[in-house]
Structure 1
Amino acid sequence: MLNDPRSHGLWEKTAPNPPATPALEGEARTDVAIIGAGYTGLSTALHLAERGIAATVIEAAEIGFGGAGRNVGLVNAGMWVMPEDLIATLGPDYGNRLLDFLGAGPGYVWEMVRRHRIECEASPVGTLHAGVGAKGFAELTERARQWRSRGAPVELLGKAEAAGALGTGHYEGALLDRRAGTIQPLAYAHGLADAAMRAGAAIHTRTPATALAPEGEGWRIATPRGLLRARRVVVATDAYTRLVMRDIARQQVVLPYFNMATPPLPEDVRRSVLPGRQGVWDTREVLLSLRYDARNRLVFGSVGALRNSGTAIHRAWAKRALRRIYPQIGPVGFESEWFGAIGMTSDNLPRFHRLDEGIFAFCGYNGRGIAPGTVFGRAMALFLAGETRAEDLPLPLSRPAPVTLRGLRSAFYEAGAQIVHLSEARF
């Protein structure tokens, strides 16, 4: 995307074309202006348009340019945080409300795919959280206990069962979450955009918001070739926030994440590697992830940025890791590679902000953008439509709190991933 093959890699090569979205030129008016064409912005626009509320999305680059088009494509329930820890942070009211809300998130994604006939390789067959060693399996055992106490359809697999599900004996066990699955993430973003436009929303790409100022009872948003006036504004740029309301980005430390895709695996090999086609991530601090696309390419990812010395380091490590975990694949090569940024908040939980009078944002997904972005977009639309009160949303209203030494900590993550991948002798 934008002539950078390492920005979106396989997803850009295999996604259906997005709808035509010209840049904004001249002046326009709308009820709700939405900055950012990722899952949250597109879902907000779609659900507003379905309620007859004028919504206009402006995007600095292209649909899905940020995390929406670069991620692994795992559609997971909940956040990284253990359910009981989440409740301890938010309190029982908001904590239980958020867990129920996000637990139902994957189901709503599958519903959206069906309702709008989105071609995005949706595969609602579950995900496997793989445990590394005794410590990792103990973590999964506790996660299983906490989710089961809430009635979630999760199943703890011992070593033998996990080996059958994963196609490798590399792990001590796994946690199967039947709510979850995989999706072609950029194709899903394109499908949401198409559905939003068919419902009546307007989308303008190559239209960065360069300035935002109050005007009367609303806001004036300047762009390079136009001006958008709106009564209310939704900022849906999350970790990719650049020009306006930059405190959204300043409250997050950037964690780079890369993916590499093999050529399609032969069918006999494919049946022995992740035979149920579940998406996978493991319990390492510098985790790895695995999933298939529709043509049986194995997409392998981990923490790190594919730039400077990182490109060769991470590629070599990925080849070693795949040979170790799945020797049946044989010589490993990659036909696509790409990377993006995950925004990590201080408590690994998302945020609901009122940034100014009439300006709102859901953000801080901590690597869990697909289902949360979709359902938070719907929640934002219901709130702006007057169907939900702010105090009834799954998160309390807050203000961004910038992270100290953000740039230094982000650089540490990037360098630290290289050090780990250089030093992992077991791979």
Structure 2
Amino acid sequence: MNDDPRSHGLWERSAPPAPPTTPLDGRSAVDVAIVGAGFTGLSAALHLAQGGARVAVLEGVEIGFGGSGRNVGLVNAGMWVMPDDLPGALGPLYGARLLDLLGGAPADVFALVERHGIACEPERQGTLHCAVGPAGLAEVKERARQWQAQGAPVRLLDAEETARMVGTRAYAGALLDARAGTIQPLAYARGLAGAAIAAGARIHTASPVVAAADDGMGWRLDTPQGSVEAAHVIVATNAYTSAVWPEIRAELVHLPYFNMATAPLSDNLRRSILPERQGAWDTRSVLSSFRFDRRGRLVFGSVGALRGPGLAIHRGWGRRALARLFPQLAGVPFETEWYGQIGMTANNLPRFHRLGRNVIAFSGYNGRGIAPGTVFGRCLARLVQGEIGEGDLPLPVTDPVAAPRRRLKEAAYEVGAQLAHLTEARF
């Protein structure tokens, strides 16, 4: 997108075309204006339109331009935070609600995909959280124990079973989560957009919101070529928030993440790696993730930005790390590469905000955007439609709080990933 091959890489090359959209032109009035055409905004638009609301989505660039179109495509349950820690972080009421909602969120994603016939390469074989060394094994053991106590269909694998299911002996064990899976994320975003349009929503791309004003009767959102008047506004821009509502951007620390994809592998090579087609990631602080797409390309990623000195460093690390994990892939080149930003909060949990009269937002997905974004979008739609109240949401209402030393932390993430990949002797 924007003539940048490193913005969406393989996903842009392999996704079905986006539904036709146009920039906002002139003035219009709707019931709900949604800012941002990612998973949250598009899910909200779909559910609102299905409920009969007049909806306009204003997207600054293209459908799925932000993190929704750039991520690995792992449809995971829960958040990074351990299940037992949620009540302590959010209180027993909201902790239990969020745990229940996000535990079932992957099923909601796959149900939407099936219901609307979204061509996004869905794979429902689960995901593998792979343990690196004794510390990593202790982590996945504890995560398995806590999820099993909740009745979740998760299973701890020993080193031998992990080697069989992953195709490498690099890991001490793994947690298999049967609720989870993978999708082609940009294709999913485009499919949600198509479903929302079919339900009656309007989506305007190349329409960044440059100003917002409340006249006491409703909101007016201005774009370079037009304006929308709306009774309610949903802000769904997360890590890609720009000038309007800067408090959302200020509370999020950007964590860069990149992916590189091989050309389609031969049948023999495909069968030797992730033979059951789970998506996988490991327990390192500078983690690695890997999964196949439908055509047999291996998508391999980690923390880091493909720019400046990081471009050569991460490319070199990727070739070395891939060959160490899977020696049979030594010499196999990467065909595409791309990166984006993850919005991290101080406690690794998302936030619900009321940013003004009838202006609401979820933000801070912390690298778990697909399933949470989908179900949070539905929650926002139900709130606007009056089906639920704020007290029924899975998160309490909080005010945005600027992250201290945000720019320093962001620089540390980017440079730290470069140093780790430059010096790390993998496994």
Verify same fold: TM over 0.5: yes
In structure 1, the partner of 2:137 is: 137
1:86 to 2:48 alignment: no
1:335 aligned partner, one-letter code? E
Shift of 1:332: 2.5
1:347 aligned partner, one-letter code? N
Whole-Å separation in 2 of the counterparts to 1:206 and 1:369? 23
Whole-Å separation in 2 of the counterparts to 1:216 and 1:144? 51
Q: Show the 5 A alignment for 1:64-143.
A: 64-143=64-143
In structure 2, the partner of 1:248 is: 248
Does the 8 Å CA contact 1:257/1:301 hold for their aligned counterparts?
yes
Does the 8 Å CA contact 1:127/1:178 hold for their aligned counterparts?
yes
Deviations 1:285-307 (A, max 9, x none): 00000000010000000000000
Does the 8 Å CA contact 2:167/2:272 hold for their aligned counterparts?
yes
2:267 aligned partner, one-letter code? E
Shift of 1:348: 0.2
Deviations 1:335-391 (A, max 9, x none): 000000001000000011101110000111000000000000001101111111110
In structure 1, the partner of 2:353 is: 353
1:391 to 2:391 alignment: yes
User: Secondary structure of 1:398's partner?
Assistant: coil
User: Secondary structure of 1:397's partner?
Assistant: coil
Shift of 1:86: 1.7
2:281 aligned partner, one-letter code? W
User: Secondary structure of 1:142's partner?
Assistant: helix
Whole-Å separation in 2 of the counterparts to 1:349 and 1:20? 35
1:21 to 2:21 alignment: yes
1:388 aligned partner, one-letter code? I
Which of structure 1's runs of 4+ aligned residues deviate more than 4 A?
A: none
Whole-Å separation in 2 of the counterparts to 1:156 and 1:223? 51
In structure 2, the partner of 1:216 is: 216
Whole-Å separation in 1 of the counterparts to 2:332 and 2:401? 44
Shift of 1:92: 1.1
Whole-Å separation in 2 of the counterparts to 1:249 and 1:7? 20
Shift of 1:216: 3.3
Does the 8 Å CA contact 1:31/1:54 hold for their aligned counterparts?
yes
Does the 8 Å CA contact 2:322/2:330 hold for their aligned counterparts?
no
Under a length normalisation based on structure 1, what TM-score does the superposition of the two structures give? 0.99
Does the 8 Å CA contact 1:322/1:332 hold for their aligned counterparts?
no
Q: Show the 5 A alignment for 1:267-278.
A: 267-278=267-278
User: Secondary structure of 2:334's partner?
Assistant: coil
In structure 2, the partner of 1:363 is: 363
What are structure 2's unaligned runs of at least 5 residues? Answer: none
Deviations 1:81-105 (A, max 9, x none): 1011122111111101100000010
Deviations 1:245-289 (A, max 9, x none): 011111011000000000111101100101111000100000000
What are structure 1's unaligned runs of at least 5 residues? Answer: none
Whole-Å separation in 2 of the counterparts to 1:86 and 1:247? 24
Whole-Å separation in 2 of the counterparts to 1:406 and 1:92? 30
Q: Aligned pair count? A: 427
Whole-Å separation in 1 of the counterparts to 2:131 and 2:91? 29
